[in-house]
Amino acid sequence: MSRDEIKDVLLEIIADIDEEADFAGLDADAPLRDQLELDSMDFLDIVMELRKRYKLQIPEEEYPQLATLTSCINYLEPKLQTV
Amino acid sequence: MAAYQLLIIGGGLSGIAAGIRAARFGLNTLILEQHHRPGGLNSYYLRQGRLLETGLHAMTNFAPPGVKQAPLNRLFRQLHLSRQRFAVHEQLGSEIRFAGRSLRFTNEIALLEEEIAREFPEAIDRFRRLRSAIAACDPFAAAPWRSTRQFLDQHLRHPLLADMLLLPLMIYGNAEEHDMDLGQFVIMFRAIFEEGFFRPGGTMREFLDLLARQFREFGGELRCRCPVAAIETDGDRVVGARLESGEVVAADTVLSTAGLPETMRLAGWAGDRDRYAGRMSFMETISFVPRAAAPALIPDQTIVFYHHGPRFDYRRPEDYLDTSWGVICFPGNFSGLPPEDAVQIRVTNAASYPLWRGLAAEDYGPVKERWTQAAIAASEEIVGNYRPSIVYQDSFTPVTIERFTRKAQGAVYGSGIKLRDGVTPWTNLFIAGTDQGYLGIVGAMLSGVTIVNQHVLR
């Protein structure tokens, strides 16, 4: 998967989790949680959805690497290479 | 591999919410419900063509869509239900009435502040500081039990105002007698005074249908009329459940929402079950009155909390029923509901489980009738006479509650001792719902969600 495709998947997952998610003006390098007012429960859903779709196991200690859109893409790029 | 990855005992709100979470992420999930329909404490029944709700007076935690961190909206996101498409009706207004004193409140806490300034001008500054102190609390952080009574004494220094504020918060969500854990007080203060009361559009039937449909759409299986006889264990693990029919259902993980004492019984969990049985139970008296004959107060009040006597003491009564304090609810009085031909009046009073349980079969009916009349008479002192106009009447007691919900001793708020982390002596048996500790409809569902998130999904 390309970086752009990963980005699209992430935004699609977030939009599915939160019907009110507003991506206008989203800064890819600032924390997603603050910008989208997500909490730890929503965050778990992103992880669970990635697991469901791509059988990805993301250990809890690596959650901080999913803080921003850019860091998510950096983290997922090697893992989704063959998808 | 077991037949199910997750087996949930109890199709009440916590069980269905837990099931939706697990099924949503692909776990093969089964909910077993003993009754012929789901809902548990918050279900409904049909009598003479009328639908009667069992538990619901109002839902707490009102929040409009868009307030993302509000418990109600977090819950909807977790259940993958659209909050925008969920129609709600806010309360018209409620009142706390003690002898000669009254505090009205709505979903705008400014009204409560005005009312306190009017009724107790000497305490309004301290009430404002109390609100700040409450806002600074994190009720979900692990903390030892703290006395709400002491907290209120210290901040309000006004026993009557403290009693008046405590009445709705205790009666809608306190499992303990006399006092209340500060964390629970903070949760209830926010749920009722800061956020407020509402009803879903439609009845509990539509709400339960919405939840059950969501569970099934994610692939979950809900079986009704399937009482569980035992939780099967093997060493430090549970392996499934044996139904009363004799059938055994194997599962990787079991989540019990039947309450602590009942779960202890089912699993053969050694310990003093009575210690974990809550002492607070209630009798509910439901009357229908033609709209034309409805008392004068009814048009603009949703819920009235009343108390007579010197100090308010929240406890199991010494008699069958204590009608000196209670709740009177008009479920038809929410904003935007179409007027119905018959007005419903629900009266709730604290009741003594052991006395009701101890009645001989032939005495139960007459005693229930006598106390039904006492509850109606007590409520008439508050809202005006309606007894002569009653066209339909029904009531249920702590014994009824225990029979239909398995909540030991009919304790609707469960054990006074909560198991916040949901963990049991078995590594794959967890507790959710009332005895995990989040109460009310929104609370129960968040309990199911939280326990599945913590112990099943990761």
Over residues A27-52, the mean pLDDT reads: 93
The residues on B that touch A, with CB distances below 8 Å, are 24-26, 65-66, 68-69, 74, 77-78, 80, 82-84, 449, 453, 457-458
Q: Rounded mean pLDDT of chain B?
A: 95
Residue A45 reports pLDDT greater than 70: yes
For residue A22, the tally of other CB atoms under 10 A from its CB is 11
What pLDDT score was predicted for residue B192? 97
On the question of pLDDT at B295 being above 80, the answer is no
How would you class B340 by CB atoms within 10 Å of its CB: exposed for 0-12, middle for 13-18, buried for 19 or more?
Answer: exposed
The answer to whether residue B90 scores a pLDDT higher than 70 is yes
Model confidence at B4, pLDDT cuts 50, 70, 90, reads very high
**pLDDT confidence of residue B438:** 86
- Cβ contact (<8 Å) for A48 and B457? yes
Lowest mean pLDDT among B117-121, B250-254, B292-296, B431-435: B292-296
Confidence of residue B86 (pLDDT cuts 50, 70, 90): very high
Give the mean model confidence (pLDDT) for residues B130-149. 93
Question: Among positive and negative, which fits the CA dihedral B102, B107, B108, B110?
Answer: positive
Asked if residue B1 has pLDDT above 80, the reply is no
Percentage of chain A modeled with pLDDT above 70: 100
pLDDT at B298: 65
In contact, B240 and B30? CB cutoff 8 Å: no
Q: How far is B68 from chain A (nearest CA, A)?
A: 7
Contact at 8 Å (CB) between B76 and B82? yes
Which of B26, B65, B69 is closest, CB to CB, to A20? B65
Share of chain B above pLDDT 90, in %: 88
Surface-to-core class of residue B415, CB atoms within 10 Å of its CB (0-12 exposed, 13-18 middle, 19+ buried): buried
- A-B contacts (CB, under 8 Å): 38
Question: In this complex, which of A42, A49, A52 lies closest to B77 when CB atoms are compared?
Answer: A42
Region B388-409: mean pLDDT is 93
Select from A14, A33, A41, A56 the residue whose CB has the most chain B CBs within 10 Å, as the one to mutate to test that interface: A41
Q: What is the pTM of this model?
A: 0.94
* Interchain CB distance below 8 Å, B77 and A17: yes
Tell me what the mean pLDDT of segment B443-451 comes to. Answer: 96
Go through the domains of chain B in sequence order and give each one's CATH number: 4-84+202-276+417-456 (3.50.50.60), 94-195 (no CATH), 279-405 (no CATH)
Mutation target among B68, B75, B454 for the A interface, most CBs of A within 10 A: B68
Q: What average pLDDT score do residues B396-419 get?
A: 92
* Superfamily, domain A3-19+27-79: ACP-like (1.10.1200.10)
pLDDT band of B257, cuts 50, 70, 90 = very high
Among A18, A51, A52, beta carbon nearest to B77: A18
* Whole-number Å distance between alpha carbons of B234 and A30: 49
pLDDT digits (tens, 9 = 90+) for B19-58: 999 999 999 999 999 999 999 999 999 988 889 999 889 9
Contacts A42 to B, Cβ<8 Å: 74, 77
Q: Is residue B195 scored above 80 in pLDDT?
A: yes
How sure is the predictor about B273, in pLDDT bands with cuts at 50, 70 and 90? confident
Q: Which of B78, B83, B140, B442 to mutate to test the interface with A (most CBs of A within 10 A)?
A: B78
Predicted confidence (pLDDT) at residue B287 exceeds the cutoff of 60: yes
Q: Angle at CA B268, nearest 5°, toward B262 and B273?
A: 45
Environment class of B338 (CB within 10 Å of its CB; exposed 0-12, middle 13-18, buried 19+): exposed
Closest CA of chain B from A59, distance in Å: 9
CA–CA dist B173, B186 (Å, integer): 11
Predicted ipTM of the assembly? 0.92
Tokens standing for residue B428: 């794959």
pLDDT of residue B126: 98
Dihedral pair phi/psi, residue B91, rounded to 5°: -65, 155
The answer for residues whose C-beta is within 8 angstroms of residue B248's C-beta and 6 or more apart is: B232, B240, B241, B242
Asked if B208 contacts B75 with a C-beta cutoff of 8 angstroms, the reply is no
